[in-house]
Amino acid sequence: MTIPILYIVIPCYNEEKVLAVTAPMFRDKLMSLVEAGKVAEWSRVLFVNDGSRDGTWDFIQSLSKDDSVFEGLSLSRNQGHQNALLAGLMEAKDRCDVTISMDCDGQDDPDAMDQMLEEYQNGAEIVYGVRNKRTSDSFFKRFTAESYYKLLNKMGGEVVYNHADYRLVSSRVLQEFANFEEVNIFLRGMFPLVGFKSTCVYYERRERLAGESRYPLAKMMALAFDGITSLSIRPIRFITGCGAFFALVSMILIIYVLVSFFSGNTVPGWSSNLISVCLIGGIQLISLGVIGEYIGKIYLETKHRPRYIIEKRTYEGEERT
């Protein structure tokens, strides 16, 4: 059994408060894994500063100066959680054997890493961290999140239920993942598409240790929508189905109208007329909206813009291992 080099990849956006609490936690965990002989001593904690406006980057720099276990890279602007995480994973893939991604707010239980690494040693290339309870989330978040996972799976997106972005991924998988070039990314739905042996590990998700959620409702809804539209074209098919159904219904209606007309009992049907116009108008607008969403995504993809730009690294100029 070879001892793997582990990189713990952690995106941070305006998290100076919570990092002061969680950074020592991450270091202690990594050290205990090194001592237990589960990971190699060149393992690192890699922070990705996602264009924070507070002192997050300064803090990461001072951490890495004091302790070589910490490394950091800084994006040129805020690119969002998914892109920041991707930047870290792509950076780590050539420097280690296995990565574990997690949030920096201490909500993901670091002790689940032991089991993740065990599964890795047993041959799993991807290990999904799954929350066994959502008691630390508000009722609203729990309800919307759980309904969303169900909807996403119905839409054909292969997403592990109650798995966020706490996940072990081997560098082997990341090398393949580097070929996924889309700009609309939803990592938890994309890793299952890479294949390889995967499994789940269960953990309890805790409360944020400090600061506030960086995922306000609008950002969460954007992520939810991206999740569906980047994994599935079923909404478009659904619209086509609706179109066919309503076309059929209107055919029957036309026959009915013609029969009524010729039998001489037509009544000026103002209300029914108006209702049908509104109904069809509404359905058409929704349909156009959904189609527009996909066209917008195609537009973004054709531009081939970089998904993130790395501005600085704490290990710049050093010999790469």
Residue numbers at the binding site for Mg ion (CB under 5 A): 103, 105, 107
CA distance 43 to 92: 11
Q: Catalogue the E-assigned strands of the chain.
A: 6-12, 44-49, 70-75, 98-101, 126-131, 163-170, 198-203, 310-313
Number of residues assigned to the chain: 321
Of 44 and 214, CB closest to ligand UDP = 214
Sheet with 70-75: list strands edge to edge: 198-203, 126-131, 163-170, 98-101, 6-12, 44-49, 70-75, 310-313
How near is the Cβ of 205 to Mg ion at its closest, in Å? 9
Of 46 and 104, CB closest to ligand UDP = 104
Instruction: Choose from Mg ion, ligand UDP, none: what does 104 bind? Cβ within 5-8 Å by kind.
Output: ligand UDP
Of 103 and 125, CB closest to Mg ion = 103
Question: Which residues here bind ligand UDP, judged by CB under 6 A?
Answer: 11-13, 15, 50, 78, 80-81, 84, 103-105, 107, 213-215
How near is the Cβ of 10 to ligand UDP at its closest, in Å? 6
How near is the Cβ of 119 to Mg ion at its closest, in Å? 24
How near is the Cβ of 261 to ligand UDP at its closest, in Å? 59
CA distances from 27 to 24, 42, 63, 265 (A): 5, 13, 10, 83
Of 51 and 157, CB closest to ligand UDP = 51
Of 183 and 242, CB closest to ligand UDP = 183
Of 107 and 232, CB closest to Mg ion = 107
How near is the Cβ of 219 to ligand UDP at its closest, in Å? 7
Is the Cβ–Cβ distance between 7 and 94 less than 8 Å?
A: no
**Rounded-to-10 torsion of CA 224, 229, 234, 236:** 120
Of 219 and 237, CB closest to ligand UDP = 219
Tokens of 32: 């205990």
**Residue 226: how many CB atoms within 10 A of its CB?**
18
Please list, in sequence order, all residues whose beta carbon lies within 8 angstroms of the beta carbon of residue 227, skipping any fewer than 6 positions away: 148, 152, 157, 159, 186, 188, 189
How near is the Cβ of 304 to ligand UDP at its closest, in Å? 22
CA distance 164 to 206: 13
CA distance 106 to 209: 6
How near is the Cβ of 258 to ligand UDP at its closest, in Å? 57
